[in-house]
């Protein structure tokens, strides 16, 4: 009796259920999620390597959008409660900051797919590429590069050579931010890679880094966008420049520029996939993240753009560059030969100190 | 009282209804303005003085700290409250926000707080001072507690102090930032000077152009106007990059100068990645905003006026100064304000072509909005710019009169 009164008549219930099912089915058919990444060739590569195969495998369409203010946009969406970005590709320090601010979902590493030989994900990912909110994607690096035609005799080989105006005169390109430059300065001043952040953490160490930068300050052309260094090298505006390794690779391989990368002292960085907090498509987003973090998917990306994979098991799968057929290995920051003297960016230190460093760097620039 | 008001409303019935109808017509605009302009502006300004995150997350700690005189270390009660609340905040996922705010006052505190919260999970009982100090020695530094107390202020002038290169010391007094961290005032100053210089250059270049177009034959005027407008419609980045191609040391202008022998090959001029580059590129980018209002005002000046002045014996210079120039002032004012206000907010062009001088105050606003997520400071810097522009506007009103400003008739 009670159930009769409380529940709707059976006929209507089943009609509702049928309608609901139809609705859900309709929704499933039109399912789509939004992935956001840096534009340009990286976005093109990730679309081909991750998003399109994911859509083909699952039927979930992936709309790709560009960053334009990155963290600010994520924060605005989360605070207003109108989240329309689902999966975002950020660098590790951005992930740390956004995760702290509660802008990203936690991702349990246990749900990530194991390696091809069954190694659990947590062991397969390179140490430091997994965090509370981020799943490692690519390892890229900031290096410096020069135009081979400009140095017919001796060529720059070490990070110290970048700061050596006597041996290699000419203007240098550097990005107008404290990050990377402070590390390069200390390494050029003889600090071993593993001690860089310990030295930078002391006031004397910081002074030492700025003193080293002072020695080349009037020869530096400051750049802002990643596309600038290869252009400045090609135009002869600078004789050598710090740059993102992928940009130089493109110039070397696709445009045939005679640029040479100096891997000594390279600064490694990680990009991670993360999920915006409060997304209504959490399940689909998690599926995309685990799809993109398989060894095969990471290798597919590595065959399109010269960024190393965050998983050990993906490295051997990266054979040749899909577009030109050249061997990719020596062009990846993670290749053993290139790792001889590499520094891994301590993004935690940077999140702690970025405001202070930024102010000090700006004041130093204006001096 | 209410009866009387009711009668009055009834008494002015038709007029009242008309006014209501008029209000109804502009209501969409008012709502639009409120939603898209005033509300966001208000909330951003509020952020510059109001931040409840730390006060909400660590209430007991802040209460315990209120009993502390600021000398030496706070009492054990503060340690106990902090230990408990840091743990709760960690579980509630608000610790990161607390930590990032404390970190803005004392660099490194973000790490200290997250580390402490993580390691405290294994500690179940006091004494808490020893337990926390064992995790990080920052807990026996009074500076840490001063920073937490400062971050706990719900309403704070901190962001405004920060925006004018000041800070509050542990004893509550206000002092200037250490010299190597003073950047906002110099940048603000530089931004104003650069914008002013660009406005002057635009006026010097734009005035003759506008005059030429306004008094040319219709066909030629159309062509000249198109020459002004085509760059106006071209992407900002394309125009900026073109200036790099033209001005760089191996660029077109330098090649030309070397070819005609004006400068030697080793004496090529640096015209980009410095202040020159910023001024040249920004003047070019903003020039149409000066030419267009000038042009429309000049068109409305009858040529008869100048002829009349000449017929009364004025020299061309006198006629220009006493007859023509005063009539163009509304356009000069409108164009200058437009260019100046746009220049103050531009940052992409100076960032790309300005080299070490390419950093303006808007870059810092963008940095704090996008990278450091310190929206409070970004809002404070924005508010200072807003005040600067308003002051200039009022000054303009006093000197020339806003009602005389014209974008054309």
Return the number of CB contacts < 8 Å for A and B: 106
Nearest by CB to residue B96, choosing from A101, A221, A222, is A101
Q: Report the alpha-carbon distance of residue B283 to residue B380 in Å, rounded.
A: 28
> Are A286 and A347 in contact, with CB atoms under 8 Å apart?
no
Tokens 């008001």 correspond to what residue?
Answer: B5
> Are A141 and A268 in contact, with CB atoms under 8 Å apart?
yes
Kind of pairing, strands A342-344 and A259-275?
Answer: parallel
Q: Which of B114, B191, B273, B276 is best to mutate for the A interface (most A CBs within 10 A)?
A: B273
Which residues of chain B are within 8 Å of residue A348 when distances are taken between CB atoms? 111
Tokens of A312: 């050990």
Which helix (H) or strand (E) element contains residue A210?
helix A203-214
Whether residue A18 is predicted with pLDDT greater than 70 in this model: the reply is: no
Q: Which residues contact A165 (CB under 8 A, 6 or more apart)?
A: A215, A216, A219
Distances (CA, A) of A120 to A1, A299, B292, B301, B405: 55, 18, 66, 80, 71
Closest residue in chain B to residue A207, using alpha carbons only: B180
Q: Report the number of secondary-structure helices (H) and strands (E) in chain B.
A: 22, 2
pLDDT score of A78: 92
Subunit contact A363:B95, Cβ cutoff 8 A: no
Nearest of A204, A70, A92 to residue A140 by alpha carbon? A92
Whether residue B248 is predicted with pLDDT greater than 60 in this model: the reply is: yes
Count of CA atoms in the C-beta half-sphere (13 A) of A115 = 19
**Three-state SS at B144:** helix
Cis amide prior to B267 (ω within 30 degrees): no
pLDDT score of B12: 54
pLDDT score of A196: 96
Whether residue A62 is predicted with pLDDT greater than 50 in this model: the reply is: yes
Nearest of B220, B215, B362 to residue B282 by alpha carbon? B362
Closest residue in chain A to residue B352, using alpha carbons only: A224
**Backbone torsions φ then ψ of B244, nearest 5 degrees:** -60, -45
Nearest of A21, A29, A26 to residue A61 by alpha carbon? A29
> Are A364 and B180 in contact, with CB atoms under 8 Å apart?
yes
Closest residue in chain A to residue B248, using alpha carbons only: A237
**Three-state SS at B191:** helix
Q: Report the alpha-carbon distance of residue B176 to residue B169 in Å, rounded.
A: 10
Whether residue B6 is predicted with pLDDT greater than 80 in this model: the reply is: no
Q: What would the 3-class secondary structure string for A223-276 be?
A: ECCCCHHHHHHHHCCCCEEEEEHHHHHHHHHCCCCCEEEEEEEEEEEEEEEEEE
The shortest C-alpha distance from A134 to chain B (Å) reads 15
Tokens 């005033």 correspond to what residue?
Answer: B38
pLDDT score of A16: 45
Nearest of A271, A270, A273 to residue A86 by alpha carbon? A273
DSSP A309: E
Tell me the β-bridge partners of B168: B174
What domains, with CATH codes, occur in chain B?
53-156 (no CATH), 184-404 (1.10.3720.10)
Q: Report the alpha-carbon distance of residue B36 to residue B28 in Å, rounded.
A: 12
Read off the pLDDT of residues B297-329 as tens digits, 9 standing for 90 and up.
Answer: 999 898 888 889 989 998 999 999 999 999 998
Whether residue B66 is predicted with pLDDT greater than 60 in this model: the reply is: yes
Q: Report the alpha-carbon distance of residue A288 to residue A299 in Å, rounded.
A: 16
pLDDT score of B93: 84
Q: Report the alpha-carbon distance of residue A4 to residue B227 in Å, rounded.
A: 80
**Three-state SS at A4:** helix
Read off the pLDDT of residues B329-374 as tens digits, 9 standing for 90 and up.
Answer: 889 988 998 999 899 988 888 888 888 887 889 888 988 988 888 9
Subunit contact A224:B359, Cβ cutoff 8 A: no
Read off the pLDDT of residues B166-197 as tens digits, 9 standing for 90 and up.
Answer: 988 877 788 898 888 889 999 999 999 999 99
Closest residue in chain A to residue B355, using alpha carbons only: A222
Lowest mean pLDDT among B167-176, B387-396, B399-408: B399-408
Whether residue A53 is predicted with pLDDT greater than 90 in this model: the reply is: yes
Confirm whether the ipTM is greater than 0.90.
no
Nearest of A126, A92, A95, A143 to residue A267 by alpha carbon? A143
pLDDT score of A7: 38
Which residues of chain B are within 8 Å of residue A101 when distances are taken between CB atoms? 96-97, 100, 373
Which residues of chain A are within 8 Å of residue B372 when distances are taken between CB atoms? 97, 354-355, 358
Which residues of chain B are within 8 Å of residue A231 when distances are taken between CB atoms? 244
Read off the pLDDT of residues A119-151 as tens digits, 9 standing for 90 and up.
Answer: 888 889 998 899 999 999 999 999 999 999 999
Degrees (nearest 5) of the Cα angle A330, A334, A336? 65
> Are A45 and A305 in contact, with CB atoms under 8 Å apart?
yes
pLDDT score of A29: 41
Average pLDDT over residues B391-398: 84
**Mean pLDDT across chain B:** 88
**Three-state SS at B43:** helix
Q: Report the alpha-carbon distance of residue B89 to residue A101 in Å, rounded.
A: 12
Closest residue in chain B to residue A72, using alpha carbons only: B370
Chain A residues interacting with chain B (CB cutoff of 8 angstroms): 69-72, 75, 97-102, 176, 217, 220-222, 224-225, 228, 231-232, 235-237, 348-349, 351-356, 358-360, 362-366
Q: Which of A241, A366, A367 is best to mutate for the B interface (most B CBs within 10 A)?
A: A366
Closest residue in chain B to residue A226, using alpha carbons only: B352
Whether residue B285 is predicted with pLDDT greater than 50 in this model: the reply is: yes
Tell me the β-bridge partners of A90: A272
Average pLDDT over residues A87-98: 91
Q: Report the alpha-carbon distance of residue B112 to residue A4 in Å, rounded.
A: 61
Whether residue B111 is predicted with pLDDT greater than 60 in this model: the reply is: yes
What domains, with CATH codes, occur in chain A?
31-139+271-330 (3.40.190.10), 141-267+344-366 (3.40.190.10)
Average pLDDT over residues B265-274: 85
Whether residue B8 is predicted with pLDDT greater than 60 in this model: the reply is: no
Q: Which of B247, B248, B253, B276 is best to mutate for the A interface (most A CBs within 10 A)?
A: B248
pLDDT score of B194: 93
Nearest by CB to residue B273, choosing from A221, A349, A358, is A221
Q: Report the alpha-carbon distance of residue A133 to residue A125 in Å, rounded.
A: 15
Higher pLDDT, B210 or B268: B210
Tokens of A112: 């990530």
pLDDT score of B3: 45
Read off the pLDDT of residues A287-311 as tens digits, 9 standing for 90 and up.
Answer: 999 999 999 999 999 999 999 999 9
Nearest by CB to residue A366, choosing from B104, B183, B371, is B183
Nearest by CB to residue A100, choosing from B97, B187, B356, is B97
pLDDT score of B164: 92
The shortest C-alpha distance from A72 to chain B (Å) reads 5
Which residues of chain A are within 8 Å of residue B357 when distances are taken between CB atoms? 366
**Mean pLDDT across chain A:** 88
- Distance, first Cα to last Cα, chain B: 49
Whether residue A27 is predicted with pLDDT greater than 70 in this model: the reply is: no
Subunit contact A100:B372, Cβ cutoff 8 A: no
Subunit contact A365:B367, Cβ cutoff 8 A: no
The shortest C-alpha distance from A172 to chain B (Å) reads 12
């Amino acid at each position: 009796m009670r159930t009769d009164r409380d529940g709707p008549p059976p006929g209507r219930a089943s009609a509702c259920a049928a309608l609901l099912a139809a609705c859900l089915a309709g929704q499933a058919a039109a399912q789509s999620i939004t992935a956001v990444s840096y534009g340009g060739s990286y976005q093109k590569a990730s679309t081909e390597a991750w998003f399109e195969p994911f859509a083909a495998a699952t039927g979930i369409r992936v709309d790709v959008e560009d960053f334009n203010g990155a963290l600010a946009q994520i924060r605005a969406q989360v605070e207003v409660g109108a989240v329309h970005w689902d999966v975002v590709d950020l660098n590790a320090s951005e992930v740390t900051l956004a995760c702290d601010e509660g802008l990203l979902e936690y991702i349990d590493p246990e749900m990530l797919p194991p390696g091809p030989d069954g190694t659990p994900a947590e062991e397969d990912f390179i140490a430091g590429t997994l965090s509370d909110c981020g799943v490692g994607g690519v390892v890229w690096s900031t290096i410096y590069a020069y135009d081979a035609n400009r140095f017919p005799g001796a060529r720059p080989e070490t990070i110290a050579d970048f700061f050596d105006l006597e041996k290699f005169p000419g203007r240098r390109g550097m990005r107008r931010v404290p990050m990377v430059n402070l590390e390069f300065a200390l390494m050029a001043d003889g600090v071993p890679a593993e001690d860089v952040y310990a030295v930078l953490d002391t006031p004397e160490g910081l002074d030492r880094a700025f003193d080293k930068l002072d020695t080349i300050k009037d020869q530096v052309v400051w750049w802002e966008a990643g596309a600038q260094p290869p252009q400045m090298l090609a135009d002869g505006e600078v004789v050598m420049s710090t740059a993102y390794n992928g940009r130089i690779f493109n110039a070397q391989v696709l445009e045939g520029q005679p640029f040479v990368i100096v891997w000594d002292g390279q600064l490694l960085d990680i990009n991670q996939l993360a999920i915006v907090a409060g997304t209504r498509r959490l399940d689909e987003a998690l599926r995309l993240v685990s799809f993109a973090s398989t060894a095969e998917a990471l290798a597919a990306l590595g065959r399109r753009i010269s960024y190393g994979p965050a998983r050990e098991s993906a490295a051997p799968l990266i054979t040749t560059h899909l577009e030109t057929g050249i061997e990719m290995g020596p062009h990846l920051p993670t290749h053993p030969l290139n790792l001889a003297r590499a520094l891994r960016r301590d993004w935690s230190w940077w999140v702690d100190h970025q405001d202070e460093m930024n102010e000090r760097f700006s004041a130093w620039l204006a001096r | 009282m209410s009866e009387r008001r009711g009668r009055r409303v009834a008494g002015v019935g038709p007029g009242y209804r008309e006014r209501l109808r008029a209000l109804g017509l502009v209501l969409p605009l008012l709502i639009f303005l409120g939603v898209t302009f005033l509300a966001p502006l208000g909330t951003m300004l509020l952020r510059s003085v109001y931040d409840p995150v730390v006060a909400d997350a660590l209430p007991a700690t802040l209460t315990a700290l209120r009993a502390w005189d600021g000398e030496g270390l706070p009492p054990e009660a503060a340690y106990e409250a902090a230990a408990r609340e840091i743990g709760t905040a960690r579980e509630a996922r608000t610790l990161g926000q607390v930590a990032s705010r404390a970190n803005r006052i004392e660099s490194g505190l973000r790490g200290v707080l997250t580390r402490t919260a993580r390691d405290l999970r294994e500690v179940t009982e006091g004494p808490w001072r020893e337990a926390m100090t064992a995790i990080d020695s920052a807990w026996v530094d009074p500076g840490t507690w001063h920073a937490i107390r400062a971050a706990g202020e719900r309403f704070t002038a901190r962001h405004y102090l920060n925006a004018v290169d000041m800070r509050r010391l542990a004893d509550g007094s206000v002092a200037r930032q250490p010299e190597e961290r003073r950047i906002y005032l110099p940048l603000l100053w530089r931004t104003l000077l650069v914008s002013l210089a660009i406005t002057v250059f635009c006026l010097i270049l734009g005035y003759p152009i506008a005059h030429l177009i306004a008094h040319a034959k219709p066909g030629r005027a159309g062509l000249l106007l198109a020459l002004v407008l085509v760059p106006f419609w071209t992407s900002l980045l394309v125009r900026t990059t073109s200036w790099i191609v033209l001005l760089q040391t191996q660029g077109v202008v330098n090649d030309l100068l070397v070819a005609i022998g004006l400068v030697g090959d080793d004496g090529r001029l640096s015209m980009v990645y410095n202040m020159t580059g910023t001024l040249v590129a920004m003047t070019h980018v903003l020039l149409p905003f000066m030419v267009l209002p000038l042009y429309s005002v000049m068109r409305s000046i009858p040529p008869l006026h100048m002829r009349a002045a000449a017929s009364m014996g004025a020299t061309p210079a006198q006629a220009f100064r006493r007859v023509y120039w005063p009539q163009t002032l509304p356009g000069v004012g409108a164009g200058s304000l437009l260019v100046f206000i746009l220049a103050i907010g531009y940052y992409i062009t100076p960032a790309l072509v300005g080299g070490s001088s390419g950093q303006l105050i808007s870059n810092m606003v963008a940095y704090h909005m996008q990278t450091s997520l310190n929206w409070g400071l970004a809002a404070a810097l924005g508010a200072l710019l807003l005040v600067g522009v308003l002051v200039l506007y009022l000054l303009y009103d006093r000197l020339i009169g806003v009602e005389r400003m014209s974008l054309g008739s």
